[in-house]
Amino acid sequence: MTTNSPGGAPSPRPARPAERRITITDVARAAGVSIAVVSYALNGRPGVSERTRRHVLRTAADLGWRPSAAARSLRTSARSVALQVVHAAEGAAGPARALALAAGMRAVLAEHDLALGLEVTDDRDEGARELETGWSERRHAAYVVVDAHARDPRTRVAREAAIPFVEVAPGPPGPAAPGVRTWFAGDADARAARYLVELGHRRIAVLVSDAQDEVARTLVAATHDAGGPEARVDVVECRTWEETRSRAARLVAHDARPTAVLTDTDVAALAVLEAGRSQGLEVPWDLSVLSGEDSATCRLVAPALTAVHRPFQRLGAHVADVVVARLGLGRPVARPDADPAATRPAVDRERPAARLLLRGTTAPPRGA
């Protein structure tokens, strides 16, 4: 209903405040059950009793929960895999890693009639909400995350909702982690740290964009393990390019500076090289620099950067195999002594190995 203003023109209705969308977390809280139970009940999946299913559906209706139009069309036929990346820290390597992984995943997934979707979020909390909503609406058949964190909320959501979930990160998954975790074969990170210590470095700085990122944590732990009690290891976190530049300059501006710097990205290593030159230091004799990520830039600078080479595109093909196996879409393993009904799909491609590439920015410290 509209009312007329004194001039005869209809006056507009006052705008109604935007209502927050009801999520399956809200339904779970109100129904007193887990997110996984709500997901099963709303999607008609087995695993919950009929009484519980009716209770969840009634609670959802009372709260006004509704799937989106996209969810209604995709609910029964999700044919895509989401690759989720957090674009938080300005200097983080996650986006570049994700693009290389996507290039490797795409062709393998296409062989199984699966599309690849890229989701970019501002932080991991937003990523957890996207994961929860996307799964409840059946947008994707599985999720892959490339920048796992020490306290990643996406892990909790995936566990509670029983979401097919693959973490691309070093180290074994935690005891309560869902899904699987995969990373490069070998111990290139530990070898890089040992190499610096074997050269004679005992004052080492580790420059990272996010100290809680699993890759950064692995680099730091490897450096501490390699150096032992005799080494001094300083961890410097830089969230933006400007922070990276300024903190690299401060690292090398005093007499007690580190004799070696290990970084998690190639750009951070370039910042250290420039800071050293500005102080009149000779690389590698006054300052060794090792990049935890290789790139064309590492090969083009002078001297060329010693770096850990990680073939993310090849790893992407392996990750896609893992996802396909998790969904049961791969080729069955033929074993004459096994029950054919109990066979599982094979993962065809082995994990590629990361390698330490020795170039011109590392050497024993002066006087060693």
Poorest-pLDDT segment among 9-18, 75-84, 103-112, 121-130? 9-18
What is the distance, to the nearest Å, from the Cα of residue 359 to the centroid of all Cα atoms in its chain?
Answer: 28
Which DSSP string corresponds to 92-144?
-SHHHHHHHHHHHHHHHHHTTT-EEEEEEESSHHHHHHHHHHHHHTT--SEEE
The pLDDT confidence band at residue 347, using thresholds 50, 70 and 90, is: low
pLDDT of 346:
47
What percentage of the chain reaches a pLDDT higher than 70?
81
pTM (two decimals): 0.73
Q: How far is CA 94 from CA 69, 140, 179, in A?
A: 31, 21, 20
pLDDT of 2:
41
Take residue 273 and report the two structure tokens written for it. 């090289």
Closest CA to 85 of 105, 101, 68, 106: 101
Closest CA to 142 of 177, 111, 174, 178: 178
Beta bridge partners of residue 180, listed in sequence order: 166
CA distance 34 to 131: 16
Say yes or no to pLDDT of 181 above 50.
yes
Closest CA to 38 of 21, 24, 50: 24
The pLDDT confidence band at residue 53, using thresholds 50, 70 and 90, is: confident
Residues 262-277 pLDDT 10s: 999 999 999 999 999 9
Task: Encode 141-180: b = buried (16+ Cβ within 10 Å), e = exposed.
Answer: bbbbbbbbbeebbbbbbbbbbbbbbbbbbbeebeeebbbe
Tell me what the mean pLDDT of segment 79-105 comes to.
81
In the three-class reduction of DSSP (H, G, I as helix; E, B as strand; rest coil), residue 254 is classed as: coil
Q: What is the CA radius of gyration of the chain?
A: 26
- If one compares 249 and 58, the residue with the highest pLDDT of the two is 249
pLDDT of 7:
45
Domains within the chain, CATH numbers bracketed: 24-68 (1.10.260.40), 80-184+313-327 (3.40.50.2300), 188-309 (3.40.50.2300)
Say yes or no to pLDDT of 348 above 80.
no
Please, are residues 264 and 208 in contact by the beta-carbon 8 Å criterion? yes
Query: 84 Cβ partners below 8 Å, 6+ apart?
Result: 119, 120, 121, 127, 130, 131, 143, 144, 145, 146, 154
The pLDDT confidence band at residue 246, using thresholds 50, 70 and 90, is: very high
Q: Name the region of 306 (left: φ>0; alpha: ψ -120 to 50; beta: rest).
A: beta
pLDDT of 332:
38
Q: How far is CA 185 from CA 119, 160, 354, in A?
A: 26, 29, 7
3-class DSSP string for 6-24 = CCCCEECCCCCCCCCCCCH
The pLDDT confidence band at residue 192, using thresholds 50, 70 and 90, is: very high
What is the distance, to the nearest Å, from the Cα of residue 89 to the centroid of all Cα atoms in its chain?
Answer: 13
Element holding 50 (H helix, E strand): helix 50-63
Phi and psi torsions of 182, nearest 5°:
-140, 150
